């Protein structure tokens, strides 16, 4: 618990420090790409999939540099998307909760926000797919920043200058910090952490496809939304 809290404090401090850089580059982003989406759209606090009227709301706190989150993303997310979100049964609220190495985790999330709401999960997918390779680059002193920038370019961000500006964008960094603060307020101590209709899923069985289906189907029955 103490280690997780220390990492969280370091991450918030890092975001605050990075935010200072944005003060000197506020106008560079618009000049680099005037047709990019607005700051307000990029810096929305929550990333949401699904209909607002869905009977179930899931809040996920996760980090793309977390191994357990990678397993959850690969095994559970396709089920959520295909069987529940696209069927109007589930609304997913994704909140960033960066894990070590904090600077790399925050940078990846910032690039995902830079790509915009419609591309956020595409960037997140690629970050997860490249998790092992990027962690290897970190351990071996490789070009991590270049790898992250390439992911942004792969997902519609037009040039490196725009990405660099987004990495220093105070609004984006503040949005990630807000996500962390919300997790802290809800008692999040590990990733992934899942809340379903306000209740935290305990244990680890929910990280298996069959268990997650059972949890969601039971919740739908309780809500009166028969399958």
What number of helices (H) and strands (E) belong to the chain? 12, 5
Rounded Cα distance, 174 and 181, in Å? 10
Cβ neighbour number for residue 130 with a 10 Å cutoff: 19
Contacts of 110 (CB under 8 A, 6+ apart): 166, 167, 169, 172, 173, 176
Percent of residues, the chain, with pLDDT higher than 90: 77
35 pLDDT more than 70 = no
Indicate the pTM of the whole model. Answer: 0.83
Domain boundaries, the chain: 2-22+49-209
Q: Between the CA of residue 135 and those of 141, 148, 155, 179, what are the distances in Å?
A: 10, 12, 21, 23
Q: What is the pLDDT of residues 196-226, one digit of tens each?
A: 999 999 999 999 999 999 999 999 999 887 5
Rounded Cα distance, 206 and 200, in Å? 11
- Burial environment of residue 161 by CB neighbours within 10 A (0 to 12, 13 to 18, 19 or more): middle
Q: Which CATH number fits domain 2-22+49-209: 3.40.50.920, 3.10.450.50, 3.40.30.10, 3.30.390.30?
A: 3.40.30.10
């Amino acid at each position: 618990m103490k280690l997780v809290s220390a990492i969280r404090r370091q991450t918030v401090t890092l975001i605050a420090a990075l935010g200072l850089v944005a003060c000197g580059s506020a106008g560079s982003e618009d000049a680099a790409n005037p047709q990019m989406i607005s700051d307000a759209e990029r810096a929305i606090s929550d990333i949401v999939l699904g209909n607002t009227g869905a009977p179930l709301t899931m809040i996920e706190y996760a980090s793309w540099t977390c191994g357990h989150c990678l397993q959850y993303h690969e095994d559970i997310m396709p089920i959520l998307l295909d069987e529940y979100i696209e069927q109007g049964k589930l609304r997913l609220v994704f909140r960033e909760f960066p894990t070590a190495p904090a600077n790399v985790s925050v940078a990846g999330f910032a690039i995902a926000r830079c790509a915009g709401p419609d591309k956020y999960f595409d960037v997140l997918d690629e970050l997860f797919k490249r998790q092992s390779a990027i962690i290897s680059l970190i351990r071996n002193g490789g070009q991590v920043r270049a790898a992250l920038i390439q992911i942004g370019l792969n997902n519609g961000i037009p040039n490196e200058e725009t990405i660099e500006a987004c990495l220093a964008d105070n609004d984006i960094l503040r949005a990630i910090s807000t996500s962390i603060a919300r997790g802290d307020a809800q008692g999040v101590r590990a990733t992934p952490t899942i809340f379903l209709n306000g209740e935290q899923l305990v244990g680890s069985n929910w990280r298996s496809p069959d268990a997650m289906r059972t949890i969601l189907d039971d919740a739908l029955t309780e809500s009166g939304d028969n399958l």
